[in-house]
Chain A
Amino acid sequence: MSGSLTSSSFPKNASAALANPPLLKAIAHIEETLVSGRRRAVDALPEFEALRDAGRDIKAHTLKHIDLYLETFERKVVEAGGFVHWAADAAEANRIILEICQATGAHRVTKGKSMITEEVGLNAFLKENGITPVETDLGEYIIQLRGETPSHIIAPAVHVNKEQVAADFRRAHADLDPTRNLDEPVSLLAEARGVLRERFLSADVGITGANFLVAETGSTVIVTNEGNGDLTQILPKTHIVLASIEKVVPTLEDVATIMRLLARSATGQEMSVYTTFSTGPRRADDPDGPEAFHVVLLDNGRSAMLGSEFEDMLRCIRCGACINHCPVYRSIGGHAYGSVYPGPMGSVLTPSLQGLEKSAHLANASTLCGRCESVCPMRIPLPKMLRHWREKEFERHLTPKKARFGLAAWRFLAARPRLYGVATRLAAWSLARLAGKDGALGQVPLAGGWTRWRDLPAPEGGTFRTEWAKRGRK
């Protein structure tokens, strides 16, 4: 399983994931770590719900004025001695970053963890052009060695177990003692730390993403736990930040509010270890820090989401809470989605970025149970937006034939109340008959997809409409 999967083969990908026990075992950790961690952190902060309201309001205000905040941000970066570049799409962002690397004469590039560079496919592009980027976040480093893509936006290697990591390290670090012990995560971490330390110190350019762009100060902000994002940006001569336009927030106060939501929702920490504000290049008397600072602002479909039914999605702060709480993600992991962003947030965002034609399945990769919305720190109505995509899928005739036929049949019945009553009564009666004494059905015509995995409980009593009529419509 890797980045070769596409969203258009989602049903096949999902079936393969369900038949992959090591994967299921690996993602099972999410419950006792990320989900229960979030619960504890939220319970320990009485203001959490009020902060969610405030976070939503900050982003809503910002999105209504985003053109002005971006202009302010740009002016402040330039005042601090940095450069701002605007990229309409992935190809332009990649080209801008390559040109900066080439102008710097860069051979060695380190990278902090950044989903946005995954979105534009930066690594592959740089490699094609003779520059090898080195991922430095432990999880990203592991999947880079494996030739995979992240299967989770904050825990990119959540699908990998320690034995696999040990095998990857033995293969990649062939100059180290082959008899060394790599049984435990702690020895794996120590080895990665040693290997990557060299890379940090010899890099020419460091590339990071951003959790926030602060209009008030022209600062870019990254939030990390390992410290790799910081070593990536303070050691090389040039620091490049790639960030999408909706990362902008007005003030430091607004960062503080969203910061209080971010780590708690993501990992259950009250605060990530390193929250770093970077403003321009090093100053005249600074003894360290990058000599050049570039920010690349990426649109890639986002400006078109403004003012649409998907505008609320631009409030997303990429905490991953919706993913951790999604029963579908928890059953199949991230790669099956075949998109850069998995889980509920990915299923809403991906069609906006790459077109519904390539990702029509994703809106259906949800039970619409609503857990995602209930934990989203920015109160994004994810199920509502998934339904919007389902409507569009139907309107554009992207829904599979069988499903269209089923929906048409249902509409035919639903529009004829008397016929509907007769049909449902008949169906309930025959199902109850078929089930016999156990009250459960092992096989039902047209419902093989359901009964292959579990029995269908047989209907008891009358239909809803007959019961409703009996009880005097109260």
Chain B
Amino acid sequence: MSSRDAILGRIRRSLGASGVDATRLAAVRHRLTETPVNVVPARGQLPAAERVELFVRKASDIFATVARIDHRDDIPAAVADYLRGRNLPQAIRRGEDPRLAGLPWQREAQLAVAIGPSAGQDLAGLSYADAGVAETGTVVLTSGVNNPTTLNFLPDHHIVVVDASTVAGDYETVWADLRRRFGAGAMPRTVNLVTGPSRSADIEETLLLGAHGPRSLHILVVG
């Protein structure tokens, strides 16, 4: 007997249950297709403007920095500003996201923009988030050619753009959106929920930023 059959058999014996019991199968099918929502904190259930404010506050609480800009076209200048402010070289790496590709990068003549995944040599990466989550100041990033996952982890500084209109109150809203875009029960290879810059408290419980991932997380909220 394979270990698979042995394990499933032991589980069913312990539970005194059958793998073809119609009631059990229906309970599981219901949960998986209806995906019932459990308890959702009230804190994120706010009108749009206040929701974005909560997102900004929560992100700042966990050591991200946040800048608000009016239009996507302001992104190149905001990126250049950030790099200048941190005394970093004017260089950024991004993916092929059309929302980034179509921007007036030429306005920042000094800024070198590389495209594609990181091999570990980049100081700063730029990504477009699928969403923000107000309840914890979290950004949601999905893998693919538009926003390679390596940009979320290898560069020392990670700049993430979030459209204010995509800032949700809670994770459940984000799940519903993922199902709409990728299909029910399907996911891109990697979905990253990022809440602040990388940190560790493994030495004497001392909180330090920049363990293995980015030392700093800068969020540009558009709109």
Give the interface of A toward B (CB within 8 A). 26, 29-30, 33-34, 45-47, 50-51, 53-54, 58, 61, 64-72, 76, 80, 86-88, 92, 136-139, 142, 155-158, 160-162, 165, 185-186, 188-189, 193, 196-197, 200-201, 215-219, 225-228, 230-231, 234-235, 245, 250-254, 256-257, 259-260, 267, 269-283, 285-289, 297, 299, 303-308
Contacts and interface: CB of A to CB of B under 8 A. Distances in A.
A326 B210 CA distance: 31
26 contacts: A53-B39, A65-B28, A66-B15, A72-B28, A88-B6, A88-B7, A142-B202, A157-B202, A165-B203, A185-B208, A189-B200, A189-B210, A216-B185, A225-B201, A230-B213, A251-B32, A252-B171, A256-B172, A270-B62, A283-B143, A287-B116, A287-B144, A287-B145, A288-B148, A303-B7, A308-B14
Contacts of A272: 195
A231 B153 contact: yes
Interface in B134-187: 135-136, 138, 143-145, 148-150, 152-154, 170-172, 175, 178, 185-187
A217 B27 contact: no
B175 A276 contact: no
Contact of A67 (B17, B31, B117, B197): B17
Contacts of B11: 66-67, 70, 245, 303, 306
Contacts of B35: 216, 251-253
Nearest to A289: B189
> Which of B16, B149, B171, B203 counts the most chain A CB atoms within 10 A?
B203
B129 to A, nearest CB: 14
A200 B13 CA distance: 43
Contact of A54 (B39, B43, B178, B213): B39
Interface band, chain B:
35 or more
Interface string B6-37: 11101110111101000011011001100111
B145 A276 contact: no
A307 B14 contact: yes
B197 A226 contact: no
Given A45-B41, A228-B211, A276-B193, A286 B202 contact: no
A227 B188 CA distance: 19
Given A189-B211, A193-B211, A234-B153, A225 B200 contact: yes
A274 B38 contact: no
Contacts of B90: none
B38 A254 contact: yes
A155 B153 contact: no
Nearest to B211: A226
Given A227-B211, A275-B193, A303-B11, A87 B200 contact: no
A411 to B, nearest CB: 33
> Which of B15, B58, B210 counts the most chain A CB atoms within 10 A?
B15
B158 to A, nearest CB: 10
A86 B4 contact: yes
B150 A288 contact: yes
A43 to B, nearest CB: 13
B10 to A, nearest CB: 4
* Binding site secondary structure of chain B: loop
B87 to A, nearest CB: 18
B2 interface: yes
A465 to B, nearest CB: 45
B7 A226 contact: no
Nearest to A55: B38
Contacts of A254: 38
Give 8 nearest A-B pairs by CB, closest first: A227-B213, A226-B211, A139-B202, A306-B14, A303-B10, A275-B193, A185-B203, A86-B4
B120 interface: yes
B187 A279 contact: yes
B109 interface: no
Given A156-B202, A217-B186, A273-B197, A226 B24 contact: no
Contact of A230 (B17, B135, B152): B152
A130 B7 CA distance: 30
Contacts of A280: 189
Contacts of A285: 144-145
B212 A270 contact: no
Given A257-B38, A273-B196, A68 B28 contact: yes
A306 B14 CA distance: 6
Contacts of A34: 205
A241 B117 CA distance: 23
B106 interface: no
A360 B32 CA distance: 41
Contact of A256 (B42, B170, B196): B170
Given A46-B42, A299-B7, A228 B14 contact: no
B73 to A, nearest CB: 26
A72 B192 CA distance: 23
B80 to A, nearest CB: 25
Contact of B201 (A33, A260, A270, A286): A33
B169 to A, nearest CB: 12
Nearest to A290: B189
A197 B120 contact: yes
B101 interface: no
Contact of B204 (A29, A307, A308): A29
A274 B193 contact: yes
A234 B149 contact: yes
B199 interface: yes
A341 to B, nearest CB: 19
Given A47-B40, A138-B203, 19 more contacts: A33-B201, A46-B41, A71-B8, A72-B28, A92-B3, A139-B200, A157-B202, A162-B203, A189-B210, A197-B212, A201-B119, A217-B186, A253-B36, A267-B201, A276-B192, A279-B187, A286-B143, A286-B148, A307-B16
